[in-house]
Structure 1
Amino acid sequence: MRPLMIAACFALTTVAFTASAQDAAQAPAAAAAATPAPAAQGNADKGRQLTYTCQGCHGISGYKNAYPNYHVPKIGGQSAVYLVNALTEYKKGARKHPTMQAQSQSFSDQDIADIAAFLSALK
């Protein structure tokens, strides 16, 4: 009976050690996955091209608001951080507005950074 107990203890120790080693190996990967990716650097020239659909509603310089009876915020000159956060929240569904959600779905993170770079540079 004694050899059986030794074998059982050995098996449990081996399983515990293997599980501990797997947890230790996965910890750096989990930490790396939890670290947010660096924010994309925006390119204002590309952002200018991407904002053609924004111009009608948001009254960017030189354009008139297509919906004068509705309050639509002017986004030209707004903070880049604010614009990135707003577009990202629309894209994820955290902010609710059907038109803005539809528009933001087509943008990558780089597109959003480019749009924010262009719009934030406007006066």
Structure 2
Amino acid sequence: MPNAKHAQRLAIALLAALALVACSKNEDHAADPAAEARSSSAGLPEGRIAVGEQLANAKGKATGQSCIDCHGADGNAPIDGTYPKLGGQYADYLAHALQDYRGGRRQHALMTPQATSLTDQEIADLSAYFGSRPSQLRDLHGVY
């Protein structure tokens, strides 16, 4: 059966080609150290938890407030019920939110000016810190 052997060889060749494409993409990624350091869907560098903790406690130039002043210790005790709990939130979610505040796509009287001067690395660090904290978030499924 020449057709069966031909189909089998074609399938093997196709799989080999797909494997080569996948490997070449990994090589391209490895050739770009900056791309390798990007770790989130927000396209940010790897977040550093310890640096994020320092940033979370530092007073912002724009408002004179720190993240902790408004969101509480570990991001779990907001001073106002309308402020979100940040502790244990997905780091990528936090990063996207901060990028949106920085870019003006999301507006808040305090957050927009606080985020305006944040660098990509600072956003990654803050997101990593708050994402690493114990979570008090809860699923509201079934809550009426």
2:87 to 76, 86, 104: 76
Aligned to 2:52: 47
Bigger Rg, structure 1 or 2 = 1
Give a deviation string over 1:61-101, Cα, whole Å, max 9, x none.
4985434xx41110011000000000000000000102101
Total equivalences in the alignment: 85
TM-score, length basis structure 2: 0.54
CA RMSD of aligned residues (A): 1.9
**1:57 and 2:70 aligned:** yes
Structure 2: which 5+ residue stretches go unaligned? 1-34, 39-43, 58-65, 135-144
CA contact 1:60–1:74 (8 Å) conserved in 2: no
Name which of 54, 57, 66 aligns with 2:79: 66
Please tell me whether the aligned partners of residues 84 and 116 of structure 1 are also in contact (alpha carbons under 8 angstroms): yes
CA contact (8 A) 2:52 2:125 kept: yes
Contact kept in structure 2, 1:42 and 1:116, CA below 8 Å: yes
Query: In proportion to residue count, which structure has more helix?
Result: 1
The 4+ residue runs of structure 1 with deviation greater than 2 A are 59-67
Greater relative CO (CA pairs within 8 A, separation 6+): 1
User: Which TM-score applies when normalising by structure 1?
Assistant: 0.62
The share of aligned pairs that are identical, in percent, is: 39
Contact 2:72 2:78 in 1 (8 A): yes
